[in-house]
Structure formats: structure tokens, C-alpha cells
Structure 1
Amino acid sequence: LSSCIFLLPKDLQRAINIVKDEVLENEVPQGSDYLCYWYSEVLEPGTRVDLENPRDIIDFADYVPGGVVIEDKTFLFVLDLDPGAYFAHPLKAILVRENGQFEILSGEWLPRINGVVPEELKELITPNRRIVDKNITLKLPKGEVKAVELLPITPIWQWGEAFIVVQGLMPTEDLFQDAQNTYLQFLNFALAYKAAMPEGRVEVQGLVQSDAGKVLSSINAYASTRKVVTVFIIAHGNVDAVKLGGVWHSASDFSTVMSDNPNTYFNFLLGSCKGGSFINDLNTLLNVRTVLTACKGTESAYPDWDVYGSTNDHNPEDTGSEWTSSIVARAVGILNNASQFGTVQTEAYNFEVPTISVLLQKAHLAALGTWGGYTQNLDLTNRVNKATPQKYCSWE
């Protein structure tokens, strides 16, 4: 705690009581999960506080940061109405002045103080000592990135393939480590798939942090030499947009680059908030085979959870986003099961679509416990009705 807080314990307690007694009842929607906590430094006069609203940034339309400039010493509280979400989701900044008056700012991301999100507000798990109230408990996950081993694959098509695996967060962004783990887990799968295929058949490229912004040029480059390109992205996002290396890219950007390469088949996997909104931009393209997203276009996406409330994850040994690790686990299981992979290849042959497209479709279904004898839903965020993974498959 800062020295200011130690000097003003009664003022802090008074501010906490105001938040509990006068704010939460009116600001928490009925049935919503929530977590309310306080920032450990007193805000001095002249401090600017605002909440980033991704929609304004994406639209690029004369964006002027909102917020307020503090006039008196003030305590900052954060009310998170979707704890643990990856990006665009409802939050409120509650500013309680020394005189007991308060003001509430609404937004879709963490509060910024003089333009910067404080490090302590980015913590995956808020320490109990700073929690004012909550109705849900999150715990640090314990899983590790897994090595992936696959049996040799005999392809039915003679098509060259490419995987482009993208991690769009910068080190200063919230949930950076989870995004790194998510990226590494899918990258390990892509590299194992490459090793299991005949030599030279598959290429794999990883793009992280600032290099993530090169994904469109990478798609163009691989589309000129490969028949099938699979793009996986883990990043912060919003409706029809994803933030890669600090730069927003729109769904139409991806639609354009894919339509510019009509002779290449594309698969697209997106693990960002509001990811399902991309489907309507891509499902009209004749060369897009599979689009999978972690959630609907109205939902948040989430990191790795081992426990949510009283519900435990079926595979706590996983790491990275619940959705990604679940798909990878099922894809590995299918590829290493001759009967299940035979079913995948038969469907790919019958519908004349890439085997990897069908594999990803079946892994998506199996991850949710709805295909091939897989009855256990590995995606904890889906089991607790937080996220609804979406799919589009051109042959369905």
C-alpha cells in the first residue's frame, strides 16, 4: 500500500463503505458475475482517469479520450462485470472523493491513470486484501505448455499447407502470459503436424508481439505458394476487430486478403473477445473452408481457468485459453486415433475439402463433447455459460 493509504485509513474505509452501501446495488446487473476492488494509491488533484473504449479506437473517428480530471484527493475502485475476460467487456471506474461524493465512469477496459493502465490493475488474480466485494472466485491455473507428439500422417491430397500462428499482445498488456502460453500451445501442435506430414508438405510461421501486425502480408506470401493456409490468432479484440502488435486490424482486412487469393483455401481460428463477429465477414468467401472462434460476436473470450466458482476444469493440466487448449487436445486425440482420423479423411475426400479443415471442425465439436465418442466438454468457460464457441464450415 502507498504511504497515502496508511495516512488515511479512515478515509479509505469510508470510501469502501460508500461503494458497498451506495454503488454496488445499483451498478451490478441482476445475475451478473462481478469483482470490485480498489487501487492502492490515492489519486492526487490533476490526475486524469478514463477507461479505454475499444470501439472508439477501432472506428478511428476523431477519437478524443474521455474521462475526468481529479480535483480532490480521490480513491479509485474498479467494478469488473466480467472477471477474467480477455478484452472488450463492461467495467466501471468508481471515483470516491474525500468528502464522500462519488462519480462512475463506464467503459470496456481497465482504467487508465494519466493515459497508462497501472500494473496492479492487470493482475490475473486480485489479492484478497484489495477486494471490496465479489460473487465469483478465480484461481491461478497450474497447467503447463505441453509437447505434442503425432503419429505419421499419410495425406489424401497432394496440397502444400501453411500455418500462421499469431500472438498479438505486447508485454505491457493484460493477460500477456496467458496469450504467450496459448500461442505456444497451438504452435507446438502446428509444428507436430508439420513433422508428422511428408517432408516439405507443411510450413509453419509464428508471429508474436509487434510482428503480429505482419499477418496480412504473411497470408499473401503463403497464399502464393501453398494451397491451404490456416491462420490462428490469440489477441485482444472487439466486434469485427483484433489488436495485433498494438495496431487494430478489421475483419474486412482479412476478408480482403483472402478474397485476393481465390485459388487458396483458408481456415481461420480466432481466440479474441467478440470473435464470432468475424464469421459473417468470412463465410461469404468461396475459398474459406473453416472459421472457428472462441465465442459469439457478443461474448468475451477467456484465459485458462482451472476453477470457476464451484466448477472444476476437466483438464486442469492444460494451459493457455480454455478454447484453444481444448481444440488442440482433441485434434491430437483424433490424429492419433486411426479410426477417428479415417473418418476425417473420408469426409474430406467426399466433400473435396482439405483434411485439416475437417480435422479442425471435428476437434471443435469434440472439445465441446459432441463428436466421435468424446462426451466430456473440455472448455470450462463454455460449461459455465460464459463463452459459446462458434464455427462455420463451408461443406455443412
Structure 2
Amino acid sequence: MLMKFLLPLLLFAAISFAKPLVVYTGVYSVSEDKSLGNIKLFAPMFFEIFSKWQESNSLPFDLILETDAEETKHLAADPLSMAILVTRDDLQIEHFKRLGVTKTTQNLGFSVLFYQSRKTENGTVNTILAALPLNSYMSNEKPLSTSEKDPDRAVMTKKIADELIRNRFAKRVRKLGIDEIEIATECSEGECRVKDFKKKGLEIGQSVTLNTEQGDFEAYIVDAKGSLEFEENGAKELISSVGEAKGKASNLKGYSEETWQVVNVEITSKKAAKLFQNEPTQAQIAQWYSDFLSESGKAVLPPISGLKWTQNSMGYTEMILASADGDMEKFVMAPARYKVTLGFSGVANGVVKKNTIEEIWAYKIWLTNKTNNQKAKEEEFTTSKKVTVQSQEHREIDVFRDLLHVSVKKLATKGE
């Protein structure tokens, strides 16, 4: 019992608070989506990856793993939490009879969520302050099983996840500035509010620490006026009697004011809808676009399209996520400043040149892009493929899928 008490204290003492404190809380999936059943495969995988990062001390913040997360949260003021949200885990197995080849394509999508938690009468609410989308897919000429127990699939999955974290996450997270900022409150008629909380990049649901002569008090921003709800009884009355108080909060630079989010993906082309009828194309487009937009340096929230977010009365989106342990938790996020609607408006292909040995096929895709209330703009993307006559299995969907991925990247990074 003594060691259980001493361990977090020793851990707390060893942390260098020259860096912000971030607590890693594990892996989550969309609770209603049965296709994301491999969350138990991801949980130990990400724990191992982040354990190595913790040891290397190469992150721009001090990372605390979930083992000691709850104890550490109570020892440090205003900590941020970090979790992995599994947004896509698609496995497509294709057989090429003439070549005798079975190709497996795996599409993985994650969002690294940075959030703060607060307890309410209806349970714990987790407010997302920032997110880093990460997506990749890999092909393997092996007949892999869709079962999470398949060792070949586990190796393939770990390889993708490790590459995403070591390379893309490592690059993007260093751009994530976590600053400690000063705040001030004003109190009247028994209510306390944070002055100009939106201008300071703070969000509803975010915690703040107020400093008084009687000690420090933690509170949460609960509405659009910046009103505060205090954790300790009597804290509001004490600060209200003074009229004001100063304090501190964590701000994720650039993430609260200039956020982007894919809110919808429409497939308006009947041919495209029929061609991709067996694939989660709308969700993939949303994930790919978010990933490439984040790569260009923009702050991107998890897409609403393709995931089961709902909107509450305050305009915030919320969703119930399931942890690897089976616990259900509510996550909410503020509306993005830039809402993106994407469209898949057309596909076409045909032979442009041929002889007795080979044919050259041209492929085209049309995509639309609209931000907020702007008029949708349509873009055309083209590629070609050389096909050897009567000696190669030729599936147009394979070419269109690759072209779609490249086209979404060009659309997201246009103008960069």
C-alpha cells in the first residue's frame, strides 16, 4: 500500500516540468462500428511504441503512460491527456486468377487526440482540444485473414502503425505548441467568467487553475460566456467575494482558432458509387484528406464524415468511444472554423492507344471541394496505365483506387 502511494510521488518528482505534462490514456474506437474490433491488437502495440518514446525523451512534452495516469493527474495542475482513436481498419483481399496472386490491401487510420476531462452530473466528459490525423495503407501479396489473431496481419498492422508514429507523428507533434498562458476572471452576481477565453484559444470544457491567497483552485469553462464551474465546494463563493482572480491554462498554439474539419463526403456519381460499392470510400476520402491537410501544417480535427458524431444543442459534436477495456466514454469537440465538404463527382476510363501487344488506358476522376459557404469547385485528375493484352489480370478499380488516393492528396495540398 505504501509503495502504491510512493510510486506516483517518485514519478512526479522525476518529471521535468520544464515541458508540459501529457498523460497517455490508451486506444479508443467508435463503439458502434463492428469493423474496428481489432482495438485489442492496437492497445499493446501503441503502449510499446510510446514506452520507447518516453524513454528517449524526444517529445516536446513529458509523456506519462496510462499505468500511472490517474495518480499523476491528481498531482499536477491542468494536465492534458492523449489517446489514439482508431478511425479506419479496412482489409481488402483480392484474387488475381491468371497470375495466381492474392493481394491484401490494409487501410489504417488513426487520430491522436489531445483532450481534457471533467466530471459532470451525467458522467465524465472529454473535450478534444487538438487532433493529429494519421493514415496509411499497405499492400502485401499474401492471403491474410481478416481475423485479428492472424500473425501475418498483426505484423503488417504493426509495421504500418510504427511507421505512422515514428515518422509522421514525430514530425507533426513537434509543431504542436503547448503553452502555459495567463488568464483573468471577472465575477458578478455569484458567477465567475474567464475574460476573452476564445481569443486566448481556450475551449468550453477546458480546465483552468486560479491562484488565490487561500490556495489554487481548479475550474472548468462550461459555456460560451466563459462561465466557470469549480471542483471544490466554496471556491466560487470565495473568488466571487474578491471579485476577480488570476490563473493559468494550457493553450495549444494555433489549434483552437484555425481548425479545419471534413464534415461531409458526397458520392454524386452513380458510376463511382457502383464501382466502389464494396468499399468504405466516403470514410477513406475523409481520412485521407484530413491526413494530407494536417501534413501541410493545418490544425485538423477528426472528420465528422465516416464517424458517428452527433451535434448537441450548443453546436458541439459528440461521440461515445470505446476503450480497449470496453469502457464507454463521451468525447466532445468545438465546431471547426473551416468546415470542408468533399464530393466524388465522376469517373471515366477508356483505351487511348493500342496494338496487338499492349493497350494504354486513360483514367479520370472528378472531385469537388467546398469550404464553409464557398461555392464548390470541381477538379479533374488523370492517370494512364499500360496493359499487356491477354496476359494480365486488369481490374479498373485498382487503378481508380490509387488515382483517388493521389487525387485527394493533390486536392488537400493545392496551393501549398
**Structure 2-normalised TM-score?**
0.21
Q: Choose 1 or 2 for highest CA Rg.
A: 2
